[in-house]
Amino acid sequence: MSASIPSCLFYLCGMKKLGEIRCISPSNIALVKYWGKHAVQLPANPSISFSLKNCVSETVVTLTETSNSEFIKKGNVDFDFKLDGKYKPEFEEKIHSFFKRVASFIPNTSKYKITIDSKNSFPHSSGIASSASAFSALSGCLIEWERTLIDGEKNEDYYRNLSQMARLGSGSAARSINGGFSLWGSYSQVKGSSDEYAISINEINPIFQDLQDTILLVDKGVKKVSSTIGHELMNNHPYAKQRFVQANANITTLLGILKNDSFKDFTHLVEEEALSLHAMMLTSNPSYILFRPNTIAIIEKVREFRDSENIPICFTLDAGANVHLIYPKAFINKTLEFIEKELVGFCENGAYICDEVGDGQKIITEIYA
């Protein structure tokens, strides 16, 4: 891999094709939830998540010299976007506003024609939020190309900028850069934490290092109320202030739990966070409900299973009806047996996805030289 601009260039339709960057980036699941924001994608409270291994977006960015220089001079970026090989004009506005927000991070890259080709490892419309993996993958490609152009280093600033850029696409994407556990949001007890970007949490007890996330797909449809609207409804929410106090307290508690080994406390906290997130939706104005009757049925079965089998398993929920089952790898066989016997009937077409803590983003750069 070269760090300088190639001397000899590949030609595509008469235009110089400079290179291609492929980034595979994970989705993540939050244990302490981010819900509510201000200014440009700054969180109302800190959050903690872990990156997933199997639910990833793979994005290929190709850079070509552009003939659209007048358009670019006006501060626009000349791009095409394809999802699963098909042009998707409905995503263009979101990507356009992302490019505007991240312009200062990629001053050189944005002078080229950018072709974005993205796909997800998880089934389309499976109800798994793909914006975290998609925006972190796109940011990975763009910032890596910028680094190549200026012959920059992959230092701490690089990773901070990368997380910051991803955040500007989708808040939770800030936590989809590194492997393992991440903290996003300024938190007085953790040096280096910031509202602008996520940082890794390194003090993790071995019992949490191989956590599984088995995602039960209760409803594969597009959710009725978007996260953008949900965050907005936290402004003037009657319980918002108390929710932010709770989330901050849960950060302190969770950091302690992750360092030590109390699965009982972990279970209590993770479930409280999931239910508090949905309680905010139930009590917002207007109120809305994203879980389904089958979500509740699963939650009750999981609690019974935990009590009767004494298995350290808990559930969490994202902004949707699907249930994430979180447990150590040592209990995978017993849990899958339980899912097959007791839970698949509550899933749409019996579908679920097996995932676990992952290693974070991977980037492959090819320069045509």
Binding site for ligand PMV (CB under 6 A): 30, 33-35, 47, 129, 131, 170-172, 227, 318-319
In the complex with ligand PMV, the residue whose CB is nearer, 126 or 172, is 172
* Least distance to ligand PMV, CB of residue 262, Å: 22
* E strand map for 65-161: 79-83, 86-87, 113-120
* Least distance to ligand PMV, CB of residue 33, Å: 4
Residues 72 and 65 sit within 8 Å (Cβ to Cβ) = no
* Least distance to ligand PMV, CB of residue 32, Å: 8
* Least distance to ligand PMV, CB of residue 131, Å: 5
* Least distance to ligand PMV, CB of residue 242, Å: 18
In the complex with ligand PMV, the residue whose CB is nearer, 21 or 251, is 251
Count the helices and strands in the chain (H runs, E runs).
Answer: 10, 15
Residues 140 and 165 sit within 8 Å (Cβ to Cβ) = no
* Least distance to ligand PMV, CB of residue 289, Å: 15
Residues 306 and 313 sit within 8 Å (Cβ to Cβ) = yes
In the complex with ligand PMV, the residue whose CB is nearer, 29 or 141, is 29
Name the CA dihedral angle for 181, 348, 271, 244, rounded to a multiple of 10 degrees. Answer: 70
Q: Is 61 left (phi over 0), alpha (psi -120 to 50) or beta?
A: beta
In the complex with ligand PMV, the residue whose CB is nearer, 20 or 356, is 356
In the complex with ligand PMV, the residue whose CB is nearer, 218 or 319, is 319
User: Could you give the CA distance from residue 178 to residue 199 in angstroms, rounded to a whole number?
Assistant: 8
In the complex with ligand PMV, the residue whose CB is nearer, 239 or 368, is 239
* Least distance to ligand PMV, CB of residue 367, Å: 32
* Least distance to ligand PMV, CB of residue 27, Å: 10
Task: List the one residue out of 75, 79, 50, 47 whose CA is nearest residue 63.
Answer: 79
Structural tokens at position 267 = 């279970």
In the complex with ligand PMV, the residue whose CB is nearer, 128 or 149, is 128
User: DSSP string spanning 151-210?
Assistant: T---SHHHHHHHHHHHHHH-GGGGGSSBSSEEEES--TTSTT--SSSEEEE----HHHHT
In the complex with ligand PMV, the residue whose CB is nearer, 21 or 240, is 240
In the complex with ligand PMV, the residue whose CB is nearer, 319 or 325, is 319
* Least distance to ligand PMV, CB of residue 219, Å: 15
Angle value at C-alpha 89, between 232 and 112, nearest 5 degrees: 100
Name the CA dihedral angle for 59, 183, 272, 310, rounded to a multiple of 10 degrees. Answer: 80
Q: Report long-range pairs for 284-292 (Cβ below 8 Å, ≥24 apart).
A: 284/230, 284/233, 284/234, 284/237, 285/233, 285/236, 285/237, 286/233, 288/224, 288/225, 290/223, 290/224, 290/225, 290/319, 290/320, 290/321, 291/218, 291/317, 291/321, 292/218, 292/219, 292/321
* Least distance to ligand PMV, CB of residue 227, Å: 4
In the complex with ligand PMV, the residue whose CB is nearer, 116 or 319, is 319
Structural tokens at position 25 = 């980036």
